[in-house]
């Protein structure tokens, strides 16, 4: 049994298989072709933080694969009254086929997985957001081909997205240039296994984007850090991805953002809505990539013939 708790849980071969399946599953969706490999299978979604894209893409995705889902939030379950995560894992995983969790510390999802009878997917923790990077790399490949050997510039907070990009850089062998304000670098313990030769850090974001093939950013204040919002607005003021910054990247560079975006903060309206931005494709691809992921975690490798 496999889990997808962080990006480094899968090999490059597994990602290549997933991207092939994503392409196939997306084509079926676009041609209104029924694809029900997960008929009667049940996904439990546990949300300890808010969500739009993750909720909709997993719920629509499992339904389109022939299965169904249950949405659980902290406030509406015994989790909110302190039931231990190990007990919740043992109970839920006896009743469903797959679990997706969005929570705070990575240790929570690891504890859940250690006590689960079924595969567990990380739908975002404070440390990682592997489903988003799965969709982002698929989106890059769709638009520009292989990401191997390319340069990705991460501008802003050294957060869950940034540390997941770093794991992806090691797996797909691309360069990650990170520019964060002082005090907002990726946690050293998350960097240590990946640093060389894939990561270069910069204090000046304009240096980090020079010649980049992909420029990407995220909110200045992630979920769980709301009390720091005002301070962060001051600290990140020089880190907005705007037209001037994009002009320093490769002329064919793409712009990505996992969304939700704050126009006028981490990204200008002009860049978010501009010709280089692929943020809407990126959001849509969450659906297709996670359908391939759910199919893989439950059924393993399948051929197009046996899955339809
Ligand atoms: N990008 C992303 O995970 O969005 P949600 O917070 O809306 O799920
Ligand atoms: N870094 C952001 C991503 C939201 C999808 C957060 O954790 O809130």
Tens of pLDDT, residues 96-146:
999 999 999 999 999 999 999 999 999 999 999 999 999 999 999 999 999
pLDDT recorded at residue 127: 96
pLDDT tens for residues 172-190? Answer: 999 999 999 999 999 888 8
Q: What CATH topology corresponds to 132-278?
A: Rossmann fold (3.40.50)
Taken in order 300, 303, 304, 308, the sign of the CA dihedral is: negative
CA torsion 11-12-13-17 (nearest 10°) is 110
- Active-site annotation holds for 94: no
pLDDT recorded at residue 8: 96
pLDDT recorded at residue 191: 85
Phi-psi region of 68 (alpha: psi -120 to 50; beta: other; left: phi over 0): beta
Q: How many CB atoms within 10 Å of residue 192? A: 9
Task: Find where tokens 């990077």 sit.
Answer: 133
Pick the residue whose CA is nearest to atom 3 on ligand 1.
54
* 209 alpha-carbon distance from chain centroid: 21
Architecture per CATH, 7-129+283-299: 3-Layer(aba) Sandwich (3.40)
- Domains of the chain, residue spans: 7-129+283-299, 132-278
**Six-digit token pair at 105?**
């510390």
- Active-site annotation holds for 218: yes
161 lines ligand 2 (CB under 6 A): yes
Fold match between 7-129+283-299 and 132-278?
Answer: yes
């Amino acid at each position: 049994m496999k889990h997808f708790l962080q990006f480094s849980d899968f090999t490059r071969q597994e990602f290549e298989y997933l991207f092939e399946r994503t392409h196939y599953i997306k084509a079926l969706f676009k041609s209104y072709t029924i694809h029900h490999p997960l008929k009667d299978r049940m996904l439990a979604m546990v949300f300890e933080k808010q969500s739009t894209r993750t909720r909709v893409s997993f719920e629509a995705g499992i339904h389109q694969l022939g299965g169904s889902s249950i949405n659980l939030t902290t406030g509406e379950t015994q989790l909110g009254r302190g039931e231990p995560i190990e007990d919740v894992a043992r109970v839920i995983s006896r009743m469903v086929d797959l679990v997706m969790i969005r929570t705070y510390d990575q240790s929570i999802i690891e504890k859940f997985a250690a006590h689960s009878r079924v595969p567990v997917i990380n739908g975002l923790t404070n440390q990682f957001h592997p489903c988003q990077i799965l969709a982002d790399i698929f989106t890059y490949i769709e638009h520009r081909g292989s990401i191997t050997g390319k340069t990705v510039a991460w501008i802003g907070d050294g957060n869950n997205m940034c540390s997941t990009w770093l794991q992806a850089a090691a797996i797909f062998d691309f360069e990650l240039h990170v520019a964060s304000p002082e005090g907002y670098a990726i946690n050293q313990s998350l960097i240590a296994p990946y640093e060389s030769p894939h990561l270069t850090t910069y204090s000046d974001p304009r240096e980090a984007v020079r010649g980049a093939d992909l420029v990407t950013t995220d909110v200045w204040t992630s979920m769980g850090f709301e009390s720091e919002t005002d301070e962060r607005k001051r600290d990140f003021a020089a880190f907005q991805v705007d037209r001037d910054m994009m002009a320093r990247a490769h002329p064919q560079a793409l712009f990505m953002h996992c969304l939700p975006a704050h126009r006028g903060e981490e990204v200008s309206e002009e860049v978010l809505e501009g010709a280089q931005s692929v943020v809407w494709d990126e959001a849509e691809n969450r659906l297709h990539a996670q359908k391939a992921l759910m199919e893989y975690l439950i059924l393993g490798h399948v051929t197009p013939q046996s899955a339809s």
